[in-house]
Amino acid sequence: MREKTLKRKLLLLITTLLMLFISVVGLPATDSTSQTTLKIPAKLGIQKIDIEKNIKVDGKNYPFTFLDGMLLADGTRKITIDNRTYTIQVKTMPDPVKADGSVEYYTFVLEGTATFYDPTVRELKTVAASKEMSISEKMYIGVIKDDFGNISDVAFVPPTLEKLDILDSQNPISNISGRKFLLSSKSPYRIISRTIIPENSALILENGVTLINSLNAELNIKGSLVTTGPATILGSGTLSVSGSGILYASVLGTELKVTSDRGALVFLDNSDILDMNLVMPNFVVIRNSSLRSAKINGAYAVYIIDSNITELEVKNCGNVIINNSSIGKMDLGMVSKVVAYSSGFSTLNISDLSVMALVSSKVNTVSTDRGGVIKAKNSEFGTIALQNYSIAYLYKSSSQTLSVENSKYYNLESKIGKVIK
């Protein structure tokens, strides 16, 4: 009994210390010129701002000493602190803007403004913020987001199709050197062994190309593989990304696996594959795609848009966006952080100090453990189970059942059918 008590106290201590280092803590709201002057943002999205003072929202007492867009109604809000009133705008849903672009005269053009990133750089370092981007042999991604930071979609800026050598299909594809192009008119192409696309080399597939895998063939991408339209990959095989490799694929491959050992970018667009197992890639985008299984560990940023995934596992990922997607079972762990908009989950497991923010979403069953945090806004749940120092913030949401064991929950204008303690 004593040993069990000590273990519980140790777990509480570790949880408390680690919570100081994760984003739940929020950002201080002090002006650089004065520690007593507050700097309240005019626009607040899914962000937490520490105030450490009593707060009134629209003239009513607010139960926290921090501001969080997840716990405020969208729209214009009057924030009163120390008898001073600030007017802010709250918005926690992205605009319905899609990232469907086109290439016009060596320029990639979008209808809306995107923030462009170089996927070979493992950080969100803005290259440009524009409706267009010049194309070259270098590739970029363009993230569509509003002024509040809400992300709706992601685009891929393709490379130029100049200076390409046509690859013959009479012989199986062997190791690639330089920039090669596969023609649909010469399709199908065959891969019969482990084939490497070296760094600074590229394999580009024309719309309609078919690849046939034999003997569980593997195409290892250290350079880049890009499809210019829907392609088909037949047979059991693997696309593996490593080094600073880039994969952009629009493929039908119901027996295909995608893996990575690092890698700059894995982007599946309008694809249907068997499964994915990624370790330490920079950027991952799953868009308009279907996967039976996806495991992502240590990615810098992950975007899942308009997709269906039967089983999803996310570990050690600090920037994950899910928008308008359907997930069967999702396991979230190892200090990960996820924002989900307008999405559905059958089962959601949150653990190890991970944080999940759900906006206008539906979940059948949620289980949190070991300091997991769930924030819900305008969302619906069947069952929520909190244990081992977990926390739930429920704003204008509903749950049929809520069970609480060594944990906390905050009910803000939510409907809970039954609470079990």
Lowest mean pLDDT among 29-38, 120-129, 189-198: 29-38
With b for 16 or more beta-carbon neighbours within 10 A and e for fewer, the 267-281 pattern comes to: bbbbbbbbbbbbbbb
CB-based contact 142:133 (threshold 8 Å): yes
Q: 105: pLDDT confidence band, cut at 50, 70 and 90?
A: confident
**Comparing C-alpha atoms, which of 65, 43, 48 is closest to residue 56?**
65
Q: How many angstroms from the chain centroid is the CA of residue 258?
A: 17
Question: Mean pLDDT over residues 118-122, rounded?
Answer: 97
Tell me what percent of the residues of the chain surpass a pLDDT of 70: 91
Report how far residue 53's alpha carbon sits from residue 327's, in angstroms, rounded to the nearest whole number.
39
Strands 326-333 and 308-315: parallel
For 128-174, how does the pLDDT look when each residue is reduced to its tens digit (9 = 90+)?
999 999 999 999 999 999 999 999 999 999 999 888 889 887 788 88
pLDDT at 28 over 90: no
Q: Is the pTM of this model over 0.75?
A: yes
Q: Cis link prior to 188 (omega < 30° from 0)? A: yes
| β-bridge partners, 80 | 56, 85
User: Are the beta carbons of 217 and 199 closer than 8 angstroms?
Assistant: no
pLDDT-based confidence at residue 37 (cuts at 50, 70, 90): low
Specify whether the CB–CB gap between 81 and 55 falls below 8 A. Answer: yes
Element (H, E) at 114: strand 107-117
Q: Is it the case that residue 65 has pLDDT exceeding 80?
A: yes
pLDDT of residue 13 exceeding 70: no
Give the Cα separation of 383 and 378 in Å (integer).
16
- Indicate the pLDDT class of residue 283, thresholds 50, 70 and 90: very high
Each residue's pLDDT tens digit, 161-214: 888 889 887 788 887 889 999 999 998 999 988 999 999 999 999 999 999 998
Is a pLDDT exceeding 60 seen at residue 14?
Answer: no
The CA distance from 221 to 195, in Å, is 9
